[in-house]
A and B are shown apart, each in its own frame.
Chain A
């Protein structure tokens, strides 16, 4: 039982793993397009990507600039040095990278600081003077950086741009950003706030769990199904065996009446009957059939003990009687009287034994009905006994042909044939009986 549940669980887990693997490569597969947009609307006149941002995900990038209303929008692509040179002293929004898959990070560039070392020396040099003269110029902040002021220039017409695309409201531009030095500058017409920038790339999405998941899930499924099948087969085998046993038991039960009668087990006569024996007994009594007490071998018919029929063992009969004795007891073989060759003396002697004793005239005495019937029965019984004895004797005489040499050849042969026939008949009868018993 447990094994079956475990197999089912294994198969189920296999299915689940396969489903997960397939899902990981389909519904859970990340979008094959990564689109990242600026978090907030720029408050500078220009938006510029840093070098390398355009090719962050893939070299094939689609840049989209969206202005709030029907404002002119221009997207230009140029080398970073060109764009920086063009911007000169204008503040701008610098797009620095991705914060996640759909958001761009940006920072406002409003001051232009000299390189760090220059800043250090400059601040060291200018700080005392700044203290002396509190407001050196309006365009320099506390760190000595130049504050950038917007000029409102329109970048559209510059020769430096590798690609330019302008329109209204929304402009989209596809480009190959293999060169990391390429950057994009988005503006309206330079006099207003820049449009919102959005970058989208085809994204290489790998499905690392598909194949391992399929393999693992398939293995689990196979193992589970295999074990289930084995279990099923075992169960079927078990059922079959059980059914066979039941059938056998039923057959045995139905065959008990005849077959068990032949093998009475005589043992301790006082032991209690086994369950089966009791069942047999009850069944026999119910059916009114014969039941043999296995302890004693006594036969009961319809629950009543039937007297044992004394039966002399055939073998003993045969063994104890010699030929002479048999001859004497039974007399000459039946039918031998009609065989020619008996002399007149013997015939006479024979007839003499049958002669009426007192020579009284033949009188007809009417016997009572009862007597007559009894006589009939007796005669019939006698005849039956005689014929049985005859058969057996004949059978016995079979082996002693040579000793009956005095008898004529032909009759002897006839006799023998008859005897053989009879034996065969007996054997056939026996065989039939056996079959019936079975």
Chain B
């Protein structure tokens, strides 16, 4: 009897204690962070759209005022510089057609996959309503406290095919000047292209297909000054660096800059050479070339660089060109 009652009361106690113990579940502890965090897509498609909309808003406001200072926070790098030059030219010419109409409505976007800065995103815009071609835009976030800004754009040439990239949700490896795993590094591609511009008949000139930029350079060279002058066209790689993303097939989509200058030199004393528009706009209306007049062009170029081992060659996807400045040097005027 006693043992039984003890047993029962003991069981009851255990039941109560266990019930109460069930109330006090252990508080979960924070798992320790596992090393370096894995790389994340730097943007998702929604945020990419938001970024593009913000850029568009800022761009529109700056375009309206043609005020380069209003580009701050929206455009950076060569894009900001080129846009600023366009404003200058447009202001000098009194013609807004020198300002490219940029529509940032994206039809396909790719973002970098990294935790570091700067971060890159690229997108192909939809063709504007008035039949303009699509642009390839490169966006960059330089530091954590910066927002994504438009770094560069390239008008896609007719007939080119932009290689496929991973979606924004997946992210793509960022590519820089020295990235490997490609048929050649982006820097080498740029150098080769500049060589093609300078020596269209060389190996590199044959490697690249003809494109509007090459045609422009060729046209500059082909200007006949009637023996009274001399034209020198010299292209050189840009110094803005590269923004690029790895494509799905291991190649790269790269945007960079190059420049070329056209020097008009008067070689015959007392001869008169006049430069045409739009160079003249930046000469304050004085078209005469007494010594030398050097026109500087700023170009943004987009390449598709195949993956290493591919039989294909780098392709110029697009580019854009602006007359950045014109220098006059009358001291080099021919004498005699």
Q: How far is the CB of B296 from chain A (nearest CB, A)?
A: 33
In the complex, are the beta carbons of A159 and B51 less than 8 A apart? Answer: yes
In the complex, are the beta carbons of B145 and A158 less than 8 A apart? Answer: yes
In the complex, are the beta carbons of B30 and A79 less than 8 A apart? Answer: no
Known A28-B20, A81-B115, A159-B147: A17·B30 in contact at CB below 8 Å: no
In the complex, are the beta carbons of B147 and A24 less than 8 A apart? Answer: no
In the complex, are the beta carbons of A79 and B19 less than 8 A apart? Answer: no
- Stretch among A92-100, A340-348, A382-390, A401-409 lining the B interface: A92-100
Render A299-328 as a binary contact track against B, CB cut-off 8 A, 1 for contact. Answer: 000000000000000000000000000000
In the complex, are the beta carbons of B27 and A9 less than 8 A apart? Answer: no
In the complex, are the beta carbons of B37 and A24 less than 8 A apart? Answer: no
List the A side residues contacting B25 at CB < 8 Å: 30, 101, 205
- Stretch among B9-17, B174-182, B190-198 lining the A interface: B9-17
In the complex, are the beta carbons of A159 and B33 less than 8 A apart? Answer: no
In the complex, are the beta carbons of B28 and A21 less than 8 A apart? Answer: no
List the B side residues contacting A128 at CB < 8 Å: none
In the complex, are the beta carbons of B12 and A13 less than 8 A apart? Answer: yes
Q: How far is the CB of A332 from chain B (nearest CB, A)?
A: 91
Candidates B8, B20, B22, B115; contact of A85 at CB < 8 Å: B115
Q: A9-B5, A13-B11, A28-B20 are in contact. List 20 more A-B contacts (CB 8 A).
A: A21-B19, A24-B23, A28-B23, A51-B37, A52-B31, A53-B30, A79-B37, A80-B37, A88-B144, A97-B29, A97-B30, A98-B29, A98-B30, A158-B147, A159-B147, A159-B148, A162-B44, A181-B40, A206-B22, A213-B19
CB proximity to B under 8 Å, residues A1-45: 2, 6, 9-10, 13, 16-17, 20-21, 23-24, 28-30
A335 CB within 8 Å of chain B: no
List the B side residues contacting A30 at CB < 8 Å: 23, 25
Supply 27 A–B pairs (Cβ within 8 Å), ascending by A: A9-B5, A16-B12, A20-B15, A21-B19, A24-B23, A50-B30, A51-B37, A52-B31, A53-B30, A57-B28, A79-B40, A81-B115, A82-B115, A85-B117, A85-B144, A86-B144, A96-B30, A98-B27, A98-B28, A101-B27, A153-B145, A181-B37, A206-B22, A207-B22, A208-B22, A209-B18, A216-B15
Chain A, residue nearest B25 (CB): A30
CA gap between A184 and B268 in the complex, in Å? 72
CA gap between A79 and B19 in the complex, in Å? 40
List the A side residues contacting B15 at CB < 8 Å: 17, 20-21, 209, 213, 216
Residue picked from B1, B4, B25, most chain A C-beta under 10 Å: B25
A160 CB within 8 Å of chain B: yes
Question: What 10 pairs between A and B have smallest CB-CB spacing?
Answer: A85-B144, A97-B30, A81-B115, A24-B19, A86-B144, A52-B31, A81-B37, A98-B27, A159-B148, A79-B40
CB proximity to B under 8 Å, residues A194-234: 205-209, 213, 216
B206 CB within 8 Å of chain A: no
List the B side residues contacting A159 at CB < 8 Å: 43, 47, 50-51, 141, 147-148
List the B side residues contacting A29 at CB < 8 Å: 23
CA gap between A373 and B47 in the complex, in Å? 151
Q: How many residues of B contact A (CB 8 A)?
A: 36
CA gap between A98 and B43 in the complex, in Å? 31
In the complex, are the beta carbons of B1 and A2 less than 8 A apart? Answer: yes
CA gap between A21 and B4 in the complex, in Å? 22
List the A side residues contacting B47 at CB < 8 Å: 159, 162
CB proximity to A under 8 Å, residues B105-136: 115, 117
Candidates A6, A96, A153; contact of B4 at CB < 8 Å: A6
Candidates B1, B19, B30, B31; contact of A6 at CB < 8 Å: B1
CA gap between A160 and B146 in the complex, in Å? 10
Render B29-56 as a binary contact track against A, CB cut-off 8 A, 1 for contact. Answer: 1110100011010111001001100000
List the B side residues contacting A100 at CB < 8 Å: 27
Q: How far is the CB of B53 from chain A (nearest CB, A)?
A: 11
List the B side residues contacting A206 at CB < 8 Å: 22
List the A side residues contacting B147 at CB < 8 Å: 157-159
List the A side residues contacting B29 at CB < 8 Å: 97-98
A56 CB within 8 Å of chain B: yes
CA gap between A408 and B29 in the complex, in Å? 133
In the complex, are the beta carbons of A99 and B27 less than 8 A apart? Answer: yes
CA gap between A97 and B26 in the complex, in Å? 13
CA gap between A205 and B26 in the complex, in Å? 12
Chain B, residue nearest A29 (CB): B23
A180 CB within 8 Å of chain B: yes
In the complex, are the beta carbons of B28 and A56 less than 8 A apart? Answer: yes
Q: How far is the CB of A46 from chain B (nearest CB, A)?
A: 13
CA gap between A266 and B6 in the complex, in Å? 62
List the A side residues contacting B50 at CB < 8 Å: 159
Candidates A9, A13, A81; contact of B40 at CB < 8 Å: A81
CB proximity to A under 8 Å, residues B137-184: 141, 144-145, 147-148
Q: How far is the CB of A274 from chain B (nearest CB, A)?
A: 42
Q: How far is the CB of B276 from chain A (nearest CB, A)?
A: 43
In the complex, are the beta carbons of A209 and B19 less than 8 A apart? Answer: yes
Candidates B5, B22, B27, B44; contact of A24 at CB < 8 Å: B22
List the B side residues contacting A28 at CB < 8 Å: 19-20, 22-23
Q: How far is the CB of A406 from chain B (nearest CB, A)?
A: 94
Q: How far is the CB of A162 from chain B (nearest CB, A)?
A: 7
CA gap between A81 and B23 in the complex, in Å? 37
CA gap between A16 and B19 in the complex, in Å? 12
Candidates B22, B33, B117, B141; contact of A50 at CB < 8 Å: B33
Q: How far is the CB of B73 from chain A (nearest CB, A)?
A: 9
List the A side residues contacting B38 at CB < 8 Å: 181
In the complex, are the beta carbons of A20 and B19 less than 8 A apart? Answer: yes
In the complex, are the beta carbons of A52 and B19 less than 8 A apart? Answer: no
Q: How far is the CB of B19 from chain A (nearest CB, A)?
A: 4
CA gap between A23 and B15 in the complex, in Å? 12
List the B side residues contacting A99 at CB < 8 Å: 27
Chain B, residue nearest A105 (CB): B30
Q: How far is the CB of B106 from chain A (nearest CB, A)?
A: 15
CA gap between A208 and B20 in the complex, in Å? 11
Candidates B12, B20, B33, B115; contact of A51 at CB < 8 Å: B33
Chain A, residue nearest B115 (CB): A81
List the B side residues contacting A162 at CB < 8 Å: 44, 47
CA gap between A6 and B12 in the complex, in Å? 15
Candidates B12, B22, B51, B144; contact of A82 at CB < 8 Å: B144
List the B side residues contacting A50 at CB < 8 Å: 30, 33
CA gap between A86 and B115 in the complex, in Å? 11
Render A44-78 as a binary contact track against B, CB cut-off 8 A, 1 for contact. Answer: 00000011110011000000000000000000000
Q: How far is the CB of B288 from chain A (nearest CB, A)?
A: 50
List the B side residues contacting A16 at CB < 8 Å: 12
Chain A, residue nearest B41 (CB): A79
Q: How far is the CB of B134 from chain A (nearest CB, A)?
A: 23
